[in-house]
Structure formats: structure tokens, C-alpha cells
Chain A
Amino acid sequence: MWIYEKKLQYPAWVEGCDLRIAKGLFAQYGGPDSELSAGIRYLSQRYTMPVKEVKAVLTDIGTEEMAHWEIIATLIYKIIDRADPEEMKKAGLDAQYIQHGHDVYPHDAAGVPWTAAYIQAIEDPVTNLTEDMAAEQKARTTYEHLINLTDDRGVIETLSFLREREVVHFQRFGESLRMVQEYMDKKKY
């Protein structure tokens, strides 16, 4: 089960009102390589994982991704909350305003709604973990693209924290893959 703690993992802050980057941040909220995709992917893959250490990794990183999903939502909310319809329109957020108002709905930067088709869980632990490692790199690249597109110090700092987490998760998944391969080598095929 999960329990909600009334705190964020990182003190997400924004300096100004960069509505263009708010639109971009939806990539990490409801896009293919979003925190949502990551969390649902890892938490879906853990049931058939044969190695106990990696069951823990999938559970713990999956849970952390949900905390990151909340951080992204917080950044978007803090930026768009006070924007009026006209300001949102100017920033290319008119479709967002028409369909979702100021709510943080899981769609990508172009408005495409999130789908489970973005992720895979196919039982084979090598295949699953290889996808997970790729996912961490794709998310890292997305963070770099977002950081390149804003001057807001708060957004940059918060995204830099999240970017670093992708690097750490990649490392842990790499170790997990090695552990799974050692486990498979012990079995006769």
C-alpha cells in the first residue's frame, strides 16, 4: 500500500511566470517519457521480478517517480495558477485552458493525453530492465531540453534535481540488470 505524506520530495519553486515552460513541463507530467510513465511502468513490472533486490528497486523507484510526478504538477500549478485566459492564450496554452482550465491533466507538451501504450511490462526481467534504463535516459534528455528553454532559476533548480535522480535511477537499474543476469546464469537454459 501507499501512505500520503504532506510534503514534497524537493522544495519546488518558481521565480516568475514562464508560461511557455509550463506548457513544456507537461512533457514530464503526461508525455511518453514522463514521471507518470516511469512510475506506472516500474510498479507494473515488479510482480514477476525473480530477484528480491530488484523487487525492492522497482517498488522504491516506482514510488519515487510518483513523488516526482507531484513535483512537476506543483511547478505547473505554481506557474499557471495566477495566469488569466488571455495570458494562457499568448503562451500557447489556450487549448489547455479550454479543456482543463487551470487543472493539471496528464497530457504531453502538445496536449496528447497520457496512455499506457507508452510503457511495457513483458515479464522477461532483462527486457523490462533494459526498457527501464532507456526510460531514465529519455527522461534525463527531456529535462535537459526543458532546462535549455527557460531562464527561471526556480524551474532550473527543481528540474536539475529531477535530472540528477534520472542518473541515479539509471545506475540502480544497471546494477539490477547485472544481478538479474547473474541469477539467470545460475539457471539452466
Chain B
Amino acid sequence: MKIDRERLEMLKEIMAVDFSSIELNLYLDTHPMDQKALAIHNDYAIKLMKLKEEYQKKYAPLTHEIISKCPWEWIEEPWPWEIDYEMGGR
């Protein structure tokens, strides 16, 4: 399913930033004293929070933890497996 170009770009950015956060999360699990990695992680955490807030305000919920209009917005398509990501990570 095709989605709006701007929405797709923003969703991909969230996916990319979230991935960076996951990668730093794993690294920090075994390097909890690495201050440089921790600082990068915290920068991404702030960036991710802002991006998710903006995306959910503009487009659609990412989790059920949202304040929804009626009807319940969570059920709206597309689901992640249905989206046409158009050349993936590019």
C-alpha cells in the first residue's frame, strides 16, 4: 500500500533513528560506563521522542498510548507489513 510521500519519509526517519537507539541500547548493556556512547544514545532518545510526537500528531498512532479521536484511530490501515517502503532504506 502506497502512503503519502512525506509521511513515508518521516516514518523511515523514525525507523532509522529508532534503530540507532536500539543499537546503542545493546552496546550500552555490555558497556554501561561508556560516556560517549551514552551521550549519543541520549541525543537519539530526544530526537526520537520529538519525531514520534510529530508523526503521531500529523499522521497516525504508533502505539495504543495515544489520545484518539472517534472512531478509535489505532485500527486505521496500513499496518507495517502492508506499506510499500519504495526501495527500502534509500
Binding site for B on A (CB under 8 A): 3-13, 53-54, 56-57, 60-61, 64, 70, 73-74, 77-78, 154, 157-158, 161, 168-169, 172, 175-176, 179
Contact = CB atoms under 8 A, between A and B. Distances in A.
A13 B29 contact: no
B63 A6 contact: yes
B72 interface: no
A7 B85 contact: no
A53 B26 contact: no
Secondary structure class of chain A's binding surface, majority of residues: helix
Contact count band on B? 20 to 34
A3 B63 contact: yes
Contacts of A3: 63-65
B46 interface: no
A-B residue pairs, 5 tightest by C-beta = A11-B85, A175-B30, A13-B88, A74-B81, A56-B29
B73 to A, nearest CB: 11
A168 B29 CA distance: 13
A3 B74 CA distance: 13
Nearest to B12: A11
B15 A7 contact: yes
Nearest to A176: B30
Contacts of B60: 6
Given A6-B63, A61-B26, A157-B89, 13 more contacts: A5-B62, A7-B18, A8-B81, A11-B15, A11-B83, A12-B88, A53-B32, A54-B29, A60-B22, A60-B25, A60-B29, A64-B22, A73-B81
B80 A172 contact: no
A5 B30 contact: no
A96 B38 CA distance: 47
30 contacts: A5-B62, A5-B63, A6-B61, A6-B80, A7-B11, A7-B18, A7-B80, A8-B15, A10-B19, A10-B89, A11-B12, A11-B83, A11-B88, A12-B85, A13-B86, A13-B87, A53-B32, A60-B25, A60-B29, A64-B22, A74-B80, A77-B81, A154-B88, A157-B88, A157-B89, A158-B88, A168-B26, A172-B26, A172-B29, A172-B30
Interface string B23-43: 101110111100000000000
